[in-house]
């Protein structure tokens, strides 16, 4: 039997309202956007400030209890930070037994969509927001799992190609938050421009204005060796850089050519 794509239930907090045809609730899609975003923005409230706090953090979806879980399965989000940072202290002392309420956002821009009218310009993009509760990970085995998971999210297989094991000082200075996901959704736009019928029927306007998509994709440059490096660029880095560039470019081009729904 075929596998069903699990989805986050549509609720008031996560349902996409405007352009709701762009909304996606599949765990696989949402988790992939999170896992391929180099920087996640984590929002939370503090008891001492009037405004919400937003922090850029590094994180990755995973399951300590089921390390072989598929990206489309229910997963937790692990976040990495300094052990005494505000977010770690709040996660440690959260009054809610579920943990500290947080929102996590991730976005990719895949193209600039240029139309006849400036009011119809747009982006091709992939964005997602997760809602959950964050707790500080205390179990040492789970902490090590999360550190390896997050390190390998930066460059696949990087953990075992570093100096191991971590020192006591390194472990003591690093905090790991686990976010138990309560809900989430994504919003994705692809395709070329779309204009009003009135402009589309005006040949003089179409003769004057360029329309189309400028694809945007992140690119890894040639590796630059550090001042004390003594090692040739290893295969795991070269292969990752090549795959990263090819995958991002191909997605951006496919998104630009995708016909509007």
> Which pLDDT tens digit goes with each residue over 53-87?
999 999 999 999 999 999 999 999 999 999 989 89
Q: How many CB atoms lie within 10 A of CB 85?
A: 14
Strands (DSSP E) contained in 137-257 are 174-189, 212-215
**Mean pLDDT of the 231-251 span:** 98
Cα 14 vs. chain centroid, distance in angstroms? 17
The whole-number pLDDT of residue 260 equals 65
Average pLDDT for 224-241: 98
Cα–Cα distance between 106 and 99 in angstroms, integer?
21
Closest among 208, 225, 220, 217 to 249, alpha carbons compared: 217
The CA-based diameter of the chain, rounded to the nearest angstrom, is: 71
User: Cα(173)–Cα(82) distance, rounded to whole angstroms?
Assistant: 6
Q: Are 136 and 77 in contact (CB under 8 A)?
A: no
Query: How is residue 136 written in tokens?
Result: 């500080």
Topology of domain 20-257 in CATH is Pnp Oxidase; Chain A (2.30.110)
d(Cα 39, Cα 162) in Å, to the nearest integer?
Answer: 22
Provide the CA 63 distance to its chain's centre, in angstroms.
17
Burial 89-104 (b: 16+ CB within 10 A, else e): ebbbebeeeebbbbbb
| Tokens read off for 56 | 């850029």
Is a pLDDT exceeding 90 seen at residue 97? no
- Across the range 104-110, mean pLDDT stands at 98
Angle at 259 between CA 256 and CA 261, to 5 degrees: 125
Q: What is the pLDDT of residue 1?
A: 42
Q: What is the mean pLDDT of residues 110-122?
A: 97
Q: In this predicted structure, what is the pLDDT of residue 123?
A: 98
Domain ranges of the chain: 20-257
Mean pLDDT, rounded, for 175-179: 97
pLDDT at residue 191 is higher than 90 = yes
Rounded to the nearest 5 degrees, what angle is found at the Cα of 92, between the Cα atoms of 186 and 166?
Answer: 85
């Amino acid at each position: 039997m075929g596998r069903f794509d699990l989805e986050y239930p549509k609720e008031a907090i996560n349902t996409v309202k405007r352009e709701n045809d762009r909304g996606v609730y599949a765990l696989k899609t949402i988790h992939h956007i999170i896992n391929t975003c180099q920087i996640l923005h984590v929002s939370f409230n503090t008891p001492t400030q009037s405004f919400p706090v937003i922090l850029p953090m590094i994180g990755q979806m995973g399951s300590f209890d089921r390390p072989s879980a598929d990206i489309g399965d229910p997963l937790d989000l692990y976040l990495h930070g300094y052990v005494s940072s505000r977010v770690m202290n709040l996660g440690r002392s959260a009054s809610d037994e579920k943990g500290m309420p947080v929102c996590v956002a991730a976005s990719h821009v895949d193209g600039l969509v240029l139309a006849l009218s400036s009011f119809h310009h747009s982006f091709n993009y992939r964005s997602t927001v997760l809602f959950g509760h964050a707790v500080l990970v205390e179990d040492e085995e789970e902490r090590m799992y999360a550190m390896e998971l997050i390190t390998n999210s930066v460059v696949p297989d990087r953990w075992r190609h570093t100096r191991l094991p971590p020192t006591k000082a390194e472990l003591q200075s690093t905090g790991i938050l686990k976010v138990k996901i309560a809900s989430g959704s994504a919003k994705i736009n692809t395709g070329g421009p779309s204009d009003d019928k009135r402009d589309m029927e005006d040949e003089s306007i179409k003769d004057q204005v360029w329309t189309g998509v400028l694809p945007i994709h992140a690119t890894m440059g040639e590796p630059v060796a550090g001042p004390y490096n003594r090692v040739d660029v290893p295969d795991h880095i070269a292969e990752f850089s090549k795959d990263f560039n090819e995958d991002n470019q191909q997605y951006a081009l496919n998104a630009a050519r995708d016909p509007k729904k």
